[in-house]
């Protein structure tokens, strides 16, 4: 696993923020205004700059224009590929992470049976019991979830940034794990085996037509059999057009340290923060 020194990390975050800021100001050349003679062109162009949604594309008769239709099909294909394609073995080899599997034997079962992605397979359970780092402050899980594209695009920058941030805060971290076909709740199963204080899942989001590379981070403090969704803290929309991966890694390190400090996550964490 590559390491990023603090100076380099700060420089990359600044560059990402600067690039993001510059891209948000001008009217994107690739988003052409398709409405003829709009009532208020300035307002429409401003709206188009602020969102990747398909607005102002115009129409040809009762249908969308050919260019808009073709772009829609391209984005739809990218979203489909993000869900169905397998993670690249070379990408996993470069990260050097242990690979675990859920009970979902293939994507068909993963998509049709939610519980199959919430628990590790028997073989993976045995491996984690024998080889997992136990009793650490934080256990990091990476999972393809519903977008392998999100993992491949975000994790190479986010993970080193996150590990560097936690190291600077003297937070003990178990060796990160990659879980194939995992859902969010598999983090509870993992935590019950390694008995960490906090577990964070970096998981590919359901792809939309704006981007297929969006990642989410789900964090929970000491999950148990009574855990509910409101016990999880979630940071979403981690991608080039949202929160840049390097910036997200640094922010997640701060957030995890604070969750450890208050010993709570989700709604309980928010309530303690207000107090």
Are the C-beta atoms of 20 and 244 separated by less than 8 Å?
Answer: yes
Q: How many CB atoms lie within 10 A of CB 215?
A: 27
How far apart are the C-alpha atoms of 266 and 223, rounded to whole Å?
Answer: 11
Hey, is 137 helix, strand or coil?
coil
Q: How many angstroms separate the Cα of 264 from the Cα of each of 64, 167, 184, 261?
A: 49, 21, 18, 8
In the block, tokens 């840049």 appear at 244
Tokens standing for residue 38 = 């709009």
Annotated binding residues for adenosylcob(III)alamin: 184, 205
- How far the first Cα of the chain sits from its last, in Å, is 39
Phi and psi angles of residue 249, each rounded to the nearest 5 degrees, phi first: -60, -45
Annotated binding residues: 184, 205
Hey, is 63 helix, strand or coil?
strand
**216 bridge partner residues:** 203
Are the C-beta atoms of 162 and 249 separated by less than 8 Å?
Answer: yes
**184: CB partners within 8 A, 6+ apart:** 118, 201, 203, 218, 232
The helices-and-strands tally (H runs, E runs) of the chain is: 10, 6
Pairing of strands 198-204, 215-221: antiparallel
The H-or-E segment that residue 9 falls in is helix 6-24
């Amino acid at each position: 696993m590559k390491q990023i020194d603090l100076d380099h990390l700060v420089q990359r975050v600044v560059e990402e923020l600067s690039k993001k800021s510059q891209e948000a100001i001008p009217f994107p050349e690739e988003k052409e205004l398709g409405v003829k003679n709009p009532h208020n062109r300035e307002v429409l162009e401003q709206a188009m700059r602020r969102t990747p949604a398909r607005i102002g594309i115009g129409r040809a008769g009762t249908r969308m224009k050919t260019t808009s239709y073709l772009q829609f099909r391209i984005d739809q294909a990218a979203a489909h590929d993000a869900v169905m394609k397998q993670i690249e073995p070379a990408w996993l080899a470069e990260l050097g992470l242990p690979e675990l599997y859920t009970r979902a034997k293939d994507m068909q079962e993963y998509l049709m049976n939610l519980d199959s992605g919430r628990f590790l397979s028997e073989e993976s359970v045995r491996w984690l019991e024998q080889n997992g780092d136990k009793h650490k402050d934080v256990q990091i899980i990476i999972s393809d979830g519903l977008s392998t594209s999100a993992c491949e695009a975000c994790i190479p920058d986010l993970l080193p940034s996150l590990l560097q941030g936690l190291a600077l805060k003297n937070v003990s971290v178990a060796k990160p794990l990659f879980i194939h076909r995992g859902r969010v709740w598999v983090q509870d199963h993992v935590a019950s085996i390694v008995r960490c204080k906090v577990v964070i899942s970096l998981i590919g989001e359901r792809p939309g037509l704006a981007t297929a590379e969006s990642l989410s981070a789900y964090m929970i403090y000491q999950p148990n059999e009574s855990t509910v969704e409101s016990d999880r803290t979630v940071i979403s929309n981690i991608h080039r057009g949202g929160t840049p991966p390097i910036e997200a890694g640094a922010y997640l390190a701060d957030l995890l340290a604070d969750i450890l400090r208050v010993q709570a996550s989700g709604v309980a964490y928010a309530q303690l923060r207000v107090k």
